Amino acid sequence: MKKFISIGEAAKILNVSIDTLRRWDKTGILKSYRLGGERGHRYYDETDLTLFGIDILEEARNWATSSVPHEPENDFYCIDSSVFQAKLGKLENRIKIIPGLENEFSLITSSVGEIGNNSFDHNIGSWPDIRGIFFAYNLEKRKIILADRGQGVLTTLKRVRPDLKTDGEALLLAFTEKISGRAPESRGNGLKYVKRAITQDSNEIEIKLFFQTGDAELFLKKGDKDLDIKKSKKPFRGCLALITF
């Protein structure tokens, strides 16, 4: 059952002004509830406030790298693709009303969709421990995070490209070459769409992507032509993606 908090208490919890909360409500960053109708006072769900203050990147990384397998918190957990699509739809509804994103929101949400779908499409029936993905966002900080404890890109692509030896080689292949239209070989074809969507010069805003799998990571932004793939300081088996805008 939801526990509602007044706008004044919510401002104290988040250490922001009431005017800031009203602005976030109007732009869809942090929505309030009008318990007395449209003219009623603003109230906030206590759970929404708790999640809003969490460092979602740290939460996702800790979950993905934990030596003790466990499901993420319910608010961050998509156990299957239907749950993910429902949450992605909610994200799109919130992001498209943010000023300045009216023409670009679809690039962000479609990129998120491709990354999340990759996790489900290429781990189905083969999750090493915890099935599903971690999916969370903080629109005030313009961050969206996805992570999984799946097999990783290298293991998936080696089914069709057994010559691959490193996570870096697999990551380069996934973002630059069309592999096949057949599962499981289609792994990465969606990542090429993500690369095009983020790097195209015509974008009105700058969307950035950090992506890690195994011990390899890359960073993409508007205008990038080549991939700069580096060794990760803290490798893990699955995948993690951070989109900022």
Q: Tens digit of pLDDT for each residue in 141-162?
A: 899 999 999 999 999 999 889 9
Strands 42-45 and 133-138: unpaired
Element (H, E) at 84: helix 81-95
User: Which three-class secondary structure state does DSSP give residue 59?
Assistant: helix
Record the tokens describing residue 210, joined without a space.
Answer: 């950090």
| CATH 1.10.1660.10 in the chain, residue ranges | 4-51
Q: Tens digit of pLDDT for each residue in 40-72?
A: 789 998 878 877 878 899 999 999 999 999 999
Strands 33-34 and 42-45: antiparallel
Contacts of 122 (CB under 8 A, 6+ apart): 150, 151, 156, 183, 184, 186, 187
Query: Given this model, what pLDDT does residue 184 score?
Result: 46
Q: Tens digit of pLDDT for each residue in 89-143?
A: 999 999 998 888 988 999 999 999 999 999 999 898 899 999 999 999 988 889 9
Q: Are 160 and 147 in contact (CB under 8 A)?
A: no
Single-letter amino acid, residue 72: P
For domain 4-51, give the fold: Multidrug-efflux Transporter Regulator; Chain: A; Domain 2 (1.10.1660)
Single-letter amino acid, residue 133: I
Cross-strand bridge partners of residue 44: 5
Query: Given this model, what pLDDT does residue 180 score?
Result: 59
User: Which three-class secondary structure state does DSSP give residue 136?
Assistant: strand
Query: Which of 76-85, 90-99, 182-191 is predicted least confidently?
Result: 182-191
CA distance 22 to 16: 11
Q: How confident is the model at residue 38 (pLDDT cuts 50, 70, 90)?
A: low
Single-letter amino acid, residue 233: K
Query: Given this model, what pLDDT does residue 16 score?
Result: 86
> Residue 238, Cβ neighbours under 10 Å: how many?
26
> Residue 67, Cβ neighbours under 10 Å: how many?
4
Q: Tens digit of pLDDT for each residue in 188-244?
A: 578 999 999 999 999 999 999 999 999 999 999 999 999 989 999 899 999 999 999
Q: Is the pLDDT of residue 6 over 90?
A: yes
What global pTM score does this model have?
A: 0.81
User: Which three-class secondary structure state does DSSP give residue 216?
Assistant: strand
